[in-house]
Amino acid sequence: MQFFNFHTHKSANRQDVFDIVNQYPNEFDESTAFYSIGIHPWYIVKERIEADLEIINQKLTAKNCLALGECGLDKRAEVPFELQVTVFERQLHLAEKHQKPVVVHCVAAFQEVIALKKKLGITVPMIIHGFSKNEQVAKQLLDNGFYLSFGKYLIKNPYLEIVFKSIPNNRFFLETDTIDETIEIVYALAAKYKNLTVDELQQLMASNYKTVFDK
């Protein structure tokens, strides 16, 4: 594994990049090598929830399905927040049932996500993707057992350097999500911030991958 891309919406289709491609239940692409699957809080459709959850339940049994998600809570989305919570809870139960890590989308709802993890007694790893908040929020999430994934905002927001440097090396991942920049660009910046060589960072990401996914 040269470059591990924790979360992307489009496969790089390269031998030196191992990526987890985000999939939606109603738009599933069978040709995807490795994927996560979940109901994004933006795209909850009441009439389709049961059918989508059943598809997720089935796909989580596949070896090349590495995680559930992205799913989560978003207070800026138009979907009613109470409905988001219900759908997120049901997906977390599926993650526990199948012992799959969870790719979490969270906007302005970190306290609620932490509370749900505690309330449901979630034991599988939960990774906040696209993290962009301050050290206080990061510490609170880390103290509650979350992992953090960095990508778009690491590139676009120079102030995130301080936060990123404070994250323990065994508790983060790197991603491209929907940006045009390649995973190499994310790695190069992350390596610079962490005072590591890209090769050392690759080894670190391989170790974190093994801890979270290779069970």
Phi then psi for residue 168, to 5 deg, are: -55, 145
> Does the annotation place 129 within a ligand binding site?
yes
- Going from the C-alpha of 66 to that of each of 94, 205, 209, the distances in angstroms are 13, 16, 11
Which residue in 131, 139, 133, 111 sits closest to 175, CA to CA?
Answer: 131
Q: Rounded to 10 degrees, what is the CA torsion of 185, 189, 191, 192?
A: 140
> Does the annotation place 52 within a ligand binding site?
no
- For residue 177, give the 3-state DSSP assignment: strand
User: What whole-number distance in Å separates Cα of residue 93 and Cα of residue 98?
Assistant: 9
Other Cβ atoms less than 10 A from the Cβ of 169: the count is 13
- For residue 175, give the 3-state DSSP assignment: coil
> Does the annotation place 177 within a ligand binding site?
yes
User: What is the per-residue DSSP string for 69-112?
Assistant: EEEEEETTSSS-HHHHHHHHHHHHHHHHHHT--EEEEEES-HHH
The kind and range of the H/E element at 209 are: helix 198-212
User: What whole-number distance in Å separates Cα of residue 206 and Cα of residue 89?
Assistant: 30
> Does the annotation place 40 within a ligand binding site?
no
Annotated binding-site positions: 70, 105, 129, 177
Annotated binding-site positions for a divalent metal cation: 70, 105, 129, 177
